[in-house]
Structure 1
Amino acid sequence: MITVKNAESYLKNKIGKDTDDMKTVWETFKAFCKEPVEREEDKEILFQCGVYDFTGEELFHLDFVRQFTIYEEDEYSRMEQLHCEFLFKPTDELRRLEIGEWSMDYDDIDDFFNEIENLKEFKIPLSLEPIKIEIYQEEI
């Protein structure tokens, strides 16, 4: 079974060498989001994008996120997020795109995925070449 501790390495292994192909990463990420993770109560999936200077350089970030709420002995402990983040040089078109959409706002995860795939915030970057992809897990 997938655990929060091994989720990052599990996803990286599933994606393999196709990290430059955003559509392949998205399809793999969607499949991963449907897999159970040990002690996970709810699926918490986020799609977000926008132009930010988190790295000291202004870049367009497109981020697929699976969030894990961790309990220890039935007490809330912390949250961790597993990111599949694509970075692009910002263009005028990308600067107009910004969104954060959570799966918990939908009755069904497939409805969430379908909605994301129909957003211009998803479709426009899909046709572009990212300068970098980062897959990482962090405590928030």
Structure 2
Amino acid sequence: MRERSAVGDAVRVLEGEVGDGVDAEGAWRAFLRFGRRLFDVPDTPESDGLLFQYGTYAFDGPPAFTLDLVRQFEIVDGDGEYDHYVQVRCELRYESAPALEALRAFDSWFFHGAGDDLDEWAARLTELPVWRALRSFGPVGVRVYQERV
């Protein structure tokens, strides 16, 4: 049986995988390596999920195209009951551009323990037109962080 890492170490693990000076495809490869790591989570189908999403948003400033790679962990209380989620994110932001805005918004989830295959999920996403579009642009910001949701 493979050893499982503590959820509290997840953001540090993702930071180590992503490194510096990454582009979208490099971040995706790093995120998939991170996604294959096992973490100590409850034994339920949706306790460890990966989210791939993108779109143009204006959360904290002017509109920006954002590629957001998220791993979500369920956290339980002392009785084993749901308490909250922790999301560990790799967010790549791009200046708004017509070619990126034309992609609109998209999201796709994968859950460890739900019977799906991670490599098949990743292969489907790798075929999306977003990858061709992003090759023409460099991110203006890359941020790896953790938040409680």
Return the TM-score normalized by structure 2: 0.84
**Pair 33,130 (structure 1): closer, same or farther in 2 beyond 3 Å:** same
CA deviation after TM superposition for structure 1 residue 128, in Å = 1.9
The answer on whether the counterparts of 2:42 and 2:76 sit within 8 Å (CA) in structure 1 is no
Contact 1:67 1:81 in 2 (8 A): yes
The Cα offsets for residues 36-95 of structure 1, whole Å up to 9 and x where unpaired, read as 011254431111000100112110011111111111221101001111111001111111
**Contact 2:41–2:73 (CA<8 Å) still a contact in 1?**
no
Does structure 1 residue 16 correspond to structure 2 residue 23?
Answer: no
**Partner amino acid, structure 1, of 2:98:** D
Matching residue of 1:51: 56
Larger Rg: 2
Scaled by the length of structure 1, the TM-score of the pair is 0.89
Q: Is the 8 A contact 1:106 1:112 kept in 2?
A: no
Once the two structures are aligned, what percentage of the paired residues are identical? 29
Q: Which residue of 1 aligns with 2:9?
A: 6
Q: In the alignment, residue 89 of structure 1 is paired with which amino acid?
A: E
Structure 1 residue 127 displacement after superposition: 4.0
**Correspondence 1:76-115 to 2 at 5 A:** 76-97=82-103, 98-104=105-111, 107-115=116-124
Output the aligned Cα RMSD.
1.8
Secondary structure of the residue aligned to 2:120 is: helix
Give how far 1:34 is off. 0.8
Shift of 1:24: 2.0
Number of residue-to-residue matches in the alignment:
139
Q: Distance in 1 between matches of 2:9 and 2:50?
A: 17
Q: Which of 69, 75, 81 is equivalent to 1:70?
A: 75
Name the CA distance, whole Å, in 2 between partners of 1:123 and 1:139.
33
